[in-house]
Each structure stands twice: as C-alpha cells, then as structure tokens.
Amino acid sequence: MASANPFNSILKTLEKPQGGEFGKFYSLPALNDPRIDKLPYSIKILLESAIRNCDEFQVKSKDVEKIIDWENTSPKQVEIPFKPARVLLQDFTGVPAVVDLACMRDAMNKLGGDSNKINPLVPVDLVIDHSVQVDVARSENAVQANMELEFQRNKERFAFLKWGSSAFDNMLVVPPGSGIVHQVNLEYLGRVVFNTNGVLYPDSVVGTDSHTTMIDGLGVAGWGVGGIEAEAAMLGQPMSMVLPGVVGFKLLGKLRDGVTATDLVLTVTQMLRKHGVVGKFVEFYGEGMSELSLADRATIANMSPEYGATMGFFPVDHVTLQYLQLTGRSDETIAMVESYLRANKMFVDYNEPQVEKVYSSYLQLKLEEVEPCISGPKRPHDRVPLKEMKADWHACLDNRVGFKGFAIPKESQDKVAKFSFHGIPAELRHGDVVIAAITSCTNTSNPSVMLGAALVAKKACELGLEVKPWIKTSLAPGSGVVTKYLQKSGLQKYLNQLGFHIVGYGCTTCIGNSGDIDESVASAISENGKFFNKNILGYTCIRMLEADILAVFYMLPDMVAAAVLSGNRNFEGRVHPLTRANYLASPPLVVAYALAGTVDIDFETQPIGTRADGKKIFFRDIWPSSEEVANVVQSSVLPDMFKATYEAITKGNPMWNQLSVPSGSVYAWSPTSTYIHEPPYFKDMTMSPPGPHGVKDAYCLLNLGDSITTDHISPAGSIHKDSPAAKFLLEHGVDRRDFNSYGSRRGNDEIMARGTFANIRLVNKLLKGEVGPKTIHIPTGEKLSVYDAAMRYKTAGQDTIILAGAEYGSGSSRDWAAKGPMLLGVKAVIAKSFERIHRSNLVGMGIIPLCFKSGEDADTLGLTGHERYTIDLPSCVSEIRPGQDVTVATDSGRSFACTVRFDTEVELAYFNHGGILQYVIRNLIGSKQ
C-alpha cells in the first residue's frame, strides 16, 4: 500500500523576490548528491517527478536511485515509472479516449464499482484540431467554408466531446477552429512550471500524437504515446518506461543569411537518423542555442518522430522566458517559472560559466554549415541540398523503384501530357508540381518562415510572376495568431494573389487532407499509367531486395507528379494518391516551387519564371535576406495577438456554442449513431483477471514486409467506396458524400475495425504481387478483404497472427492500429522490430509483440504465411519475464525462437488483465492484483 513520501524532508519553500512565497517544491540540491549536477536537464525532470510522486507503491525509492545513477543505469535498460504532469489529446485520438472513459463508467457500474472514480486524475487538455479538407482553396472565404463543412460533417463528434468537457472533471476542451493541437500547446497550454495546491513542479506532458514533442522546444518534457497509454496516465497510472539514453547535440555559431529553420531541422533530422536515436532523448546545448528563436527550437523538437527520438529537448533559458512574455503569459507566471527552475538547478543561464552535462553520446553541428535543402521524394530524412536538387531528381527518375527511385525509362522521361484546364491549354511533365501547401505545425508555428514565405510572395507579385492555376495551393496556419501577424505585416494579400489563401487552422495536406485535384489534372496524370485504375486505385506490384530493404514496385501512373509541402511527413501515398513525388520544404521554398511549377529545376542557373515582357526572373530575385525577415517579424509579431487569439478560445465560436449536448455523467449511447458507438472491450468482463494467453494453431492473417506504418494498419484518410467500412455505412443509410474520413469516425469501433488494414497500398505477401487491402483465407484459399477474412476466422473460433518485417507500426501514434487488430482477433504480431509507441499499444490491447532473432525474418526462415502457428506462453504471469525468448512452432514442422517484447513488469500486468483499461478498472474497484 502507499505510504508517506520519504522525500518530504527536502520539501522547501520558494520565496518571492518582493516578499511572500510562490509555494513549496521538492529541492534537488537539498539531496546533496553530486551525481545530480551532471544529469542532463531532461533526466532531471524524470527525477523530480519520481521524487514528488514517491509513495513506495507506484513509485519507489529505488526508482529514484536508478534515475540519480542515470550515468550507470541507463545503459542497462532499467525500468522506471513516470507520472506526467498532464495529458494532451488531439481531436481524432481524443474521441476514442472519451469513448473509453464513458465505456469504463458503464463497466464500473456493472461490476459494482463507483463510476464517478472514472475521471482524469491529472489535467487533460483536449484540442479539437479539426483536420481541414482543402476543398475550397484559392478563395477568400475558405476558412468559413471549411468550418461550415467541418461542423456539417462532424457535428455529432464535436457534440460528444463537448459533453465530455462537462461530464468529466479536470478536462479542458479547446473548440475547433482554434489551431493545430501542438501549436496551441506551445502558445497557450504549456505551463513550463505547474503550481498545484501550492506545490511547484515542472510541466511535463504525454500526448496522443507523436508530434507532441514540439513542446520540448519550450523546455517542457513531452512526447507522444498511444491513446491507450494516455488514458492510463489520465487515470493516475504511472507510465512504465525504460530509462533512456540521452544524446547531447551541441550547436555552434549561427545560420547563414537566407538559411531557414526548416533547412536546419532537415539537416538535424538526417544527422540524428544516421546516428541512431530510437528510444532516446536528444538534448540540445551549446553557444549556438542563443542564436535560435523559440520557434526555431520548436521546429526541431516537432520533428523528433522523423529522426526517431522520444524527444528533442531544449532546456529553459532566457529565450524561453522571452517567448512566454511574447505569448501573453503573466509577469507573475514568468517570475515563478524562472525562480523555481533556478532554485532547482534546471535553468540554463548562458551568461554564467557552463558545466557540460554527461551524455550517452555526442553530436555537434556548426550552424553556419547548414545550407538550403528539401527532403524527399518519399521520406522526411532523405535530405537533398537545394543546389543538387535537379541532379537528384533525374537520378530518382532513373533509379529502380524504392525510396529514391521511380524507374522511368529514359525514352519516357521527356513525356508531355497535354490537357485542357477549364478551357486553358495546359501540359504536365515529370516533376511538375500539382500541390503546393504551407501546412503543418512543424513550420506554421515559426513566424520567420511564415513571414519569409509572405516576403517571397510579395517580391514575386511585384515582379509579375504567377502560379499556374492548376496547382492546388493552400495555407493552413497552426493558430489564428499567424493570420494576425500576416495581416499586420500587410503581406497576406500577396500570398492570396498567388493562391495561398488561408483554408483553416488545422492539419491538412501532411495528413492526407489535400482535397481533390482538379479532374482534368487527375486525368492527365492517371491516364498515362498502364496499370492504373483510377476507380479502385488498385496497383500491380513486384518486389525486389535492394540494399537489405524490401522495396515495393508500384505500377502507378508513369507521369510522376509532385507535391511540395512544409509538413513533417511525405510518405508515399500519404499526401495524395496521384502525387508519387512528395517533398518537404520550408514555407518560402513551397512558394518558390509553386512559382517554378516543377521540382525539375536548378534554382542557381534556371529562371523561376518569365514576366509578360519576357524578362527572366531568378530565385535570387525573390529570396529575402535574413535581415528583411527579422525586421518584419519584429514589427509584426506582438503579444496582444496571442492574448486576443486565446481569449477567444474561452468564449468558443458561434457554431460550437450552439451545439446541444446530452446531460448526465453517464453517456446515453445511440444505437443508430455511425460516429459514436460503445465498443466491446469490457463485454463479459469479470473481476478476476483472465491471465496470460498463448496462441494455438493460429492462421496468418497477413504476411507483411518492412516499414509497415500505422497508415497501412489504420488509415486516417478517406473511406474508399468499395471498402468494408463503406459497405457498413451504406447499409446504415449514410450517403457516400457523407462518409467523411476514418479519422473522424474513430469513435465507432464497427467502422474502425472494418478500416483496419484497409490501406490501398498494403503489400501482403500472401497475395503474391498484388497490392491492396486483401488477403487469402488460408482454409479455403479465397481472396477476401482483410476484415471479411478476419471475421471468418473469428466466427470459426480460430486465432490469427501477423508476420511483419522491420519498423512495424512506424509513423503516427495511432491507437486504432492496435485496437483494430484486437477486434479482428489478432493475438500476436511477429516482426523484426517495432516502433516504440505501437509496440506499447499492442501490449495495452492484449496482443503479444514478438521479435524474430537478429538476422532472421519470415523469409529467411522459409515461412510463407500458409502455416499454422503455436506460441506457448506460461499460464502464470509470474513465470514470464520481460524480454524472454519463446519458441514458435508451426504445423509444417519448423520451429524458431522469438523474443517476447513485454519490456517491463507493468506491461506483463496489463497483459495478465487482458489490457491496460481492464487493469485500471480492477485497480479502481480494489481487486487483488
């Protein structure tokens, strides 16, 4: 049982400079342990949390010692508990979290518990980050039109969240239209230091989106977790995590003129990806820190998932305090933040001599060596220096199909597709841009690149340049503050003139919500492919092993159209099905490429455009200097803008305020709703844990290769008209035009289960070369949708497993990528390796994650997926150890060893209970564990 905190002796009072006190705090210096001074700042946050929450039950003194001795313990992969200060939910992941809370209340009632105990025990910030479908770009009324469309489509979902904001204590809901979740977190929600009931402690946050890491730029420790983990944290459960190594990344000097924060982050991403930082913290330090604005830091922190780190952390310093002042935090708050962090030796003052911390490994970058660049055409870490872009593009056309290749025959590389765009004769060539989007929280939080893009637009307009009308242009800022400073600067009109109208304040192109390309453009692209069927988006493929990576060859339209976006993700098929080449670029470069109309250009030697009088205009003619950008930022970005924007949040907006919501603390489930549905997680749940389960004679549902992302497992985009989910909706009277997206329907398990593995680009080896959301039902040999095959197995009482390659579950931390397979009856996933959050989510849903031994995979072991698989686990959880080996036997006579990826004792407890939510319910009721 819990006992008094053994560290209460170091609870000190923090005095105010002018008298009085801020509150009490657990003083790290009072421990008088010299090891603490050498700890990375990010590890000190874990230490303070362990000390403050130490009760010798959930958090023990020995856990505190493990963290203090980080230099020696972190290489040993030791387990520690962590209680974050708060939880951040994004709309799409917030809905299932609130659904689960409502469902848990019902389960508590049925089991005789007090349903009122189901409340968040830590502050929960839920931002309705409505994902704008860019259907009305290039118009002045795009924001209003998109908001009306959002409320028309998502009224039921929004109303459910509004109900949750009043039904559950300790939950703040930020209405739709306020901004992208991570920018709202940075500008408004981030506390940096909490003061709760007179106790001060560092802000820390886990969020249900992998880009929660953006807050690390503010000196707040934060990272993405699965929705399942987040729900447990909300309910007071400590997160069990492996004490991470910390990579020290030293920054020196300053960026050269004309180099943007995006260029820096793409360089850092490539360096860290090469170094290897998966499962680690990255902590930035060095004299170059003073040259980086807070927005620059947030840009780097935001991209942590792309370089693979748990977080990219920037300790609090004077730049942080200046940003807090800029964004409207009170003087009292800022004084408290600085006083507390100085008192606890967690503040960096570059005016004082610096004692370098001890890190697990070290990297260094001279900022003056960073050069303009973009990344692509299919991955965020494939950086291309701008000066090499044309040569790299032609190499991609030549290369075999893969991450850097399209395999376009030489004789076809000059092909021209002629078409008519609303009566205007037009042409498309390989590399021509059809989507140009300033989007995503990575860059839209950064005034320097946003205003830089506006300056490019101004210069281009004044020189008479235009963007071709068939290029789909859009601007989706992360918050209303961006609109205010673009208007204040007088530059928004130039962006509008080039077609970059504001379409809304939410995720757009980088999550696949680019909207439709004009039909004439789509036809020009798609009708040039021999094997492309634009009705079903079915692709024939072949596979080949290249550089130890299983590359997939899609016989797509052989016209390789391009998208250029300022987002953080450019995986193939994510932006738009018809843009095979997708490049990440800074907002100013997005405008430049839109003006050029192609990525097949050398900006040094080729003109970006030609005026009506025949004068050639070059890239250098429209590119602003760093001084120009700095001047307009200083004069246009003002504290009052942040105050006005976020005061409006508390008032809501007319459409939100008019939503009628049900009353009561227990939700009245509607049997006819296609948005909100009670899931079957707690059906037949008993007070006694079911215990561990093995797998006997299971069939292989899917045999997959490397780099299967959560987009493959649980699509967030549109619901295809021929999918099982579409069939369900049509049967329930939903018109096709009202299908909306999988993301918007995450509150309905019936749809999400049918959407599991429904990605049109899924490559399943059981199909022997065909690409799409199908599989083979092994007993009959029939080719079925994945959902239909899974239901056949489930009805027959037959378990299923999944075979996979490396990095299974990479990409967005999507809880439905674990919930969906569980509902399909999947009992285990055997892969070469797992993405961190997804592996944890699988455990949280009672699915066994197993790893092939080093050097082995399904192919090397001769597994075809037609075998039946038996995994023999002990029936008593006490006999299972984290990371132990087990034998997997097949009916073909072949057996092989795998490592069970329950990484901690807590994860074993979750598995013993059948899942993390069941564990929490039984804990709250008070059953013996």
| H/E run at residue 520 | helix 519-526
CA gap 477, 508 in Å, rounded:
10
Q: Are 256 and 290 in contact (CB under 8 A)?
A: no
pLDDT in tens, 274-313: 999 988 999 999 999 999 999 999 999 999 988 999 999 9
Q: Is the pLDDT of residue 551 over 50?
A: no
Q: Are 79 and 240 in contact (CB under 8 A)?
A: yes
Q: Is the pLDDT of residue 549 over 60?
A: no
Q: Is the pLDDT of residue 725 over 50?
A: yes
Backbone φ and ψ for 202, nearest 5 degrees, come out as -70, 140
Please tell me the predicted confidence (pLDDT) of residue 829. 98
Residues 135 and 180 in one domain: yes
Altogether, the residues listed in the chain come to a count of: 929
Q: Is the pLDDT of residue 812 over 80?
A: no
Q: Is the pLDDT of residue 511 over 80?
A: no
Backbone φ and ψ for 818, nearest 5 degrees, come out as -105, -40
Q: Is the pLDDT of residue 366 over 90?
A: yes
384-388, 610-614, 771-775, range with the lowest pLDDT: 610-614
Which of 691, 687, 718 is closest to 880 using CA atoms? Answer: 691
Please tell me the predicted confidence (pLDDT) of residue 763. 93
Catalogue the long-range contacts made by 525-530 (C-beta closer than 8 Å, 24 or more residues apart): 525/417, 525/428, 525/434, 525/557, 525/559, 525/561, 525/578, 526/557, 526/578, 527/417, 527/557, 528/415, 528/417, 528/557, 528/558, 528/559, 529/555, 529/556, 529/557, 529/558, 529/559, 530/555, 530/558
Please tell me the predicted confidence (pLDDT) of residue 136. 61
CA gap 717, 714 in Å, rounded:
9
Asked if the structure places residue 273 within a domain, the reply is no
Question: What's 439-493 look like in SS3?
Answer: CCHHHHCCHHHHHHHHHHHHHHHHCCCCCCCCCEEEECCCEHHHHHHHHHHCCHH
pLDDT in tens, 392-420: 999 999 999 899 999 999 999 999 999 99
Residues 180 and 73 in one domain: no
CA gap 391, 395 in Å, rounded:
6
Up-side HSE of residue 567: CA atoms within 13 Å toward CB?
A: 30
| H/E run at residue 920 | helix 916-925
Structural domain ending residue among the three candidates 64, 82, 100 = 82
Backbone φ and ψ for 155, nearest 5 degrees, come out as -55, -45
Backbone φ and ψ for 189, nearest 5 degrees, come out as -85, -30
Residues 714 and 628 in one domain: no
The percentage of the chain sitting over the pLDDT mark of 90, rounded to a whole number, equals: 70
Most confident of 397-411, 777-791, 871-885: 777-791
106-115, 221-230, 620-629, 806-815, range with the lowest pLDDT: 806-815
Q: Are 281 and 311 in contact (CB under 8 A)?
A: yes
CA gap 247, 272 in Å, rounded:
9
Q: Is the pLDDT of residue 928 over 80?
A: no
Which pLDDT band holds residue 131 (cuts at 50, 70, 90)? low
Backbone φ and ψ for 480, nearest 5 degrees, come out as -65, -15
CA gap 691, 116 in Å, rounded:
27
Would you state the structure tokens that stand for residue 364, as one six-digit string? 């260094």
Q: Is the pLDDT of residue 547 over 60?
A: no
Strand ranges (DSSP E) for 731-790?
A: 770-771, 774-777, 782-785
Which pLDDT band holds residue 664 (cuts at 50, 70, 90)? confident
Predicted TM-score of the model (pTM): 0.84
Q: Is the pLDDT of residue 531 over 50?
A: no
Q: Is the pLDDT of residue 344 over 70?
A: yes
> Would you tell me the crossing angle of helices 626-636 and 480-489 to the nearest 10 degrees?
110
Residues 593 and 711 in one domain: no
Residues 592 and 611 in one domain: yes
**CB proximity list for 181: less than 8 A, separation 6 or greater:** 88, 90, 91, 127, 129, 207, 209, 441
Q: Are 727 and 823 in contact (CB under 8 A)?
A: no
CA 710, 716, 719, 720: dihedral to nearest 10 degrees?
Answer: -40
Name the more confident of 826 and 611: 826
pLDDT in tens, 555-589: 455 789 999 999 888 887 788 889 999 999 999 99
CA gap 929, 341 in Å, rounded:
39
Q: Are 214 and 330 in contact (CB under 8 A)?
A: no
CA gap 469, 467 in Å, rounded:
6
pLDDT in tens, 679-692: 999 988 999 999 98
Question: What's 537-594 look like in SS3?
Answer: CEEEEEEEEECCEEEEEECCCCCCCEEEECCCCCCCCCCCCCCCEEEECCHHHHHHHH
pLDDT in tens, 430-478: 999 999 999 877 788 799 999 999 999 999 999 999 999 999 999 999 8
CA gap 475, 587 in Å, rounded:
9
Name the more confident of 215 and 738: 215
Q: What is the CATH number of the domain that holds 122?
A: 3.30.499.10
Number of folded domains that form the chain: 4
Asked if the structure places residue 252 within a domain, the reply is no
Looking at every residue in the chain, the average pLDDT score rounds to 90
CA gap 433, 431 in Å, rounded:
6
Cα distance from N-terminal residue to C-terminal residue, the chain: 12
Which of 823, 841, 828 is closest to 679 using CA atoms? Answer: 823
Residues 711 and 744 in one domain: yes
CA gap 313, 497 in Å, rounded:
39
Up-side HSE of residue 280: CA atoms within 13 Å toward CB?
A: 21
Please tell me the predicted confidence (pLDDT) of residue 37. 94
Mean pLDDT value across residues 710-730:
90
Q: Name the CA radius of gyration of the chain, rounded.
A: 27
Q: Is the pLDDT of residue 545 over 60?
A: no
| Amino acid, single-letter form, for residue 496 | N
Asked if the structure places residue 355 within a domain, the reply is no
Please tell me the predicted confidence (pLDDT) of residue 206. 96
Q: Are 617 and 456 in contact (CB under 8 A)?
A: no
Phi-psi region of 200 (alpha: psi -120 to 50; beta: other; left: phi over 0): beta
Which pLDDT band holds residue 548 (cuts at 50, 70, 90)? very low
Question: Longest C-alpha distance within the chain, in Å?
Answer: 83
Q: Other CB atoms closer than 10 Å to residue 356's CB: what's the count?
A: 11
Would you state the structure tokens that stand for residue 562, as one six-digit string? 């391009």
Asked if the structure places residue 404 within a domain, the reply is yes
Mean pLDDT value across residues 696-716:
92
Asked if the structure places residue 823 within a domain, the reply is yes
Sign of CA dihedral 223, 229, 232, 237: negative
| C-alpha 807, offset from chain centre | 15
Asked if the structure places residue 879 within a domain, the reply is yes
Which pLDDT band holds residue 514 (cuts at 50, 70, 90)? confident
Residues 584 and 678 in one domain: no
Residues 150 and 132 in one domain: yes
Asked if the structure places residue 247 within a domain, the reply is no
Q: What is the CATH number of the domain that holds 856?
A: 3.20.19.10
631 CB-contact burial (10 Å; exposed 0-12 / middle 13-18 / buried 19+)? middle
Which pLDDT band holds residue 1 (cuts at 50, 70, 90)? low
Q: Are strands 11-15 and 171-174 parallel, antiparallel or unpaired?
A: unpaired
Asked if the structure places residue 172 within a domain, the reply is yes
Residues 50 and 110 in one domain: no
Residues 714 and 579 in one domain: no
Q: Are 910 and 901 in contact (CB under 8 A)?
A: no
| Amino acid, single-letter form, for residue 673 | S
CA gap 276, 273 in Å, rounded:
5
152-166, 608-622, 628-642, range with the lowest pLDDT: 152-166
Mean pLDDT value across residues 697-717:
91
Backbone φ and ψ for 770, nearest 5 degrees, come out as -80, 145
Which pLDDT band holds residue 133 (cuts at 50, 70, 90)? low
Mean pLDDT value across residues 781-807:
97
Please tell me the predicted confidence (pLDDT) of residue 836. 79
Please tell me the predicted confidence (pLDDT) of residue 543. 25
Q: What one-character DSSP code corresponds to residue 437? A: E
pLDDT in tens, 71-85: 999 999 898 999 999
Q: Are 588 and 456 in contact (CB under 8 A)?
A: yes
Structural domain ending residue among the three candidates 82, 97, 116 = 82
Residues 148 and 68 in one domain: no
Residue numbers of the domain that contains 827: 695-913
Q: Are strands 770-771 and 539-546 parallel, antiparallel or unpaired?
A: antiparallel
pLDDT in tens, 251-268: 999 999 999 999 999 999
Would you state the structure tokens that stand for residue 765, as one six-digit string? 């080896």
Which pLDDT band holds residue 553 (cuts at 50, 70, 90)? very low
User: Which single residue is written with the structure tokens 């499962």?
Assistant: 279
Residues 415 and 432 in one domain: yes
